[in-house]
A = this chain, B = another copy of it.
C-alpha cells in the first residue's frame, strides 16, 4: 500500500507521501510516489499516486511522453490551467485502462489507481485535485481542504482535528508528518522514506522539498514527543466515574 496526503491552504500547498510498495508481504520495496514537473517562475505541478505500481508508472510515462512531444493540447507544461492538467492525468488513466484493464482482470487484478495532482500555474491560485481510476476528478474546497489516497484511515483523525485553510504551511507540514507517523506505526505496508514538499503560494518554485529517511533527527524527535505527549495526555484525561467493583477491597 501507500499513504499520500496533500493540503490546500491559504498560504500554499503541502504534499507528503511514503515510499513503500508491496505485492504481498514478502515482496516489499521502496518506490517514491511523488513526481514533480516545473517551469521555474511559471508553474509547479506535483503528482502523487497510490494503487497498482505498474499502472501509476504507465500513467506517468504517458504524461512524460506528451511533455516531451510538446503537444500544446496534451503537455502538462503547456496547457493553460491546473484543471486542464487534471484532465490530462484523467485521460492518461483512461488510456492505460483501455490498454491494461482487460488483461489485468484476466489475471484477477483490479484496475486500481488513485492520484493527487496539485500545484500552481501563473494566473491562477494554487489548486489541488484528486483523480480516480475512472479518470474523473474532483477539486479540493475550503470546507475539505485536503485529499488522502492509499491507506488513509489511520492518519485521518489528526488531520480532521488540526487542518483548515488558515493553517500555516509549517504547521500543516508538521501535521502531515504526524499523520504519516500514525499510519506507519499501525500499518506495515506504509514506510519511510517520506517525500515532503511545501509549496509557497506564488513562489512558482520547488525550494522546500525534503526526503525524510530513517533516523531523520527532526522526524525521530516529533515521533517521540508525539507518542509521549499522547501517553501523558491519556493519563491526565479523567478516569470513568464507574467504580470498578473491588472484591474483598
Chain A residues close to B by CB (< 8 Å): 153-154, 156-158, 160-162, 169-171, 173-175, 177-178, 182, 185-186, 198, 200, 202-203, 205, 207-208, 210, 218, 221-222, 225-227, 229-231, 233-234, 236-242, 244-245, 247
> A-B pairs with the 4 shortest C-beta distances?
A153-B153, A229-B233, A157-B182, A170-B239
Verify A153–B238 contact, CB threshold 8 A: no
Known contacts A175-B234, A208-B245; can you find 20 more A-B pairs with CB under 8 A? A157-B182, A161-B231, A162-B230, A162-B231, A170-B239, A170-B240, A170-B244, A171-B239, A173-B242, A174-B239, A174-B240, A178-B237, A207-B245, A208-B242, A218-B238, A218-B240, A226-B237, A229-B233, A229-B236, A229-B237
Looking at the assembled complex, report how far the CB atom of A79 sits from the nearest CB atom of chain B, in whole angstroms: 26
Q: How many copies does the complex hold?
A: 2
Once the chains are docked, how many angstroms separate the CA of A227 from the CA of B233?
A: 10
Contact A198/B244 with A154-B157, A160-B186, A161-B227 known, Cβ cut-off 8 Å: yes
Q: Which residues of B contact A169 (CB under 8 A)?
A: 244
Q: Can you identify 27 A-B contacts, CB atoms within 8 angstroms?
A: A153-B153, A153-B186, A154-B154, A154-B157, A157-B185, A161-B185, A161-B227, A161-B231, A161-B234, A170-B239, A170-B244, A171-B239, A173-B240, A174-B234, A177-B240, A178-B234, A178-B237, A200-B245, A200-B247, A202-B247, A203-B245, A207-B245, A208-B242, A208-B245, A222-B238, A225-B236, A225-B238
Q: Is the CB of A221 within 8 A of B234?
A: no
B247 contacts A203, C-beta separation under 8 Å: yes
| Contact status A241-B226, CB under 8 Å | no
Contacts of A226 in B (CB 8 A): 233, 237
